[in-house]
Amino acid sequence: MKSLGDMGRSGGPYKNLTRTFEVVILGFVKQWAVAEGFKEAVQYVLPQLMMVPVYHCMHYFELLQQLQERSQDLDDRECLKQAITALLNLQCSVERIYTKHQPRRKPGYKSSISYSQLFPSFSHGNIERKR
């Protein structure tokens, strides 16, 4: 009686099964090579990318505050104040998310980084007062 390996090599009924098994194993090996670093990307890069919308919101809150402070028109100031008030709940939620997911720092290390320092290409700079 022939063994399973002999049947695969001699063209027996398991030839296609052996070939299919080889293709599946090679496929897994190729996928593993492509996915090398995927775990690290999910562990380190994805959390940072998920914080980008939070940074954007914080930046918009800063801009609204600057606009209100520098606006010369009373109607504009009132509208901006209403907008800021309407967004207070969202701002509290965003700040809670930010403080919960801040990177771990050494004790005694204090960081006061603004949005424009994190993403200089996205920052609009300070809003200048027109004279």
Residue 105 within a domain: yes
pLDDT, position 8? 47
Residue 73 within a domain: yes
pLDDT, position 32? 64
Residue 131 within a domain: no
pLDDT, position 1? 47
pLDDT, position 73? 94
What would the pLDDT profile of 112-128 be if each residue is shown by its tens digit?
555 555 555 554 554 44
Residue found by looking up tokens 């690290």 in the block: 40
Same domain, residue pair 56 and 114? yes
Same domain, residue pair 77 and 108? yes
CA atoms of 56 and 123, how far apart (whole Å): 10
Same domain, residue pair 32 and 60? no
CA atoms of 78 and 125, how far apart (whole Å): 23
Same domain, residue pair 58 and 108? yes
Same domain, residue pair 109 and 78? yes
Same domain, residue pair 66 and 113? yes
Residue 129 within a domain: no
CA atoms of 66 and 127, how far apart (whole Å): 7
pLDDT, position 107? 64
Same domain, residue pair 93 and 55? yes
pLDDT, position 113? 54
Q: Which domain holds residue 103?
A: 51-118
Task: Work out how many domains the chain is built from and give that number.
Answer: 2
pLDDT, position 39? 76
Residue 130 within a domain: no
pLDDT, position 102? 76
Residue 41 within a domain: no
Which residues of the chain register pLDDT less than 50?
1-5, 7-8, 123, 126-131
Q: How many residues does the chain have?
A: 131
Residue 64 within a domain: yes
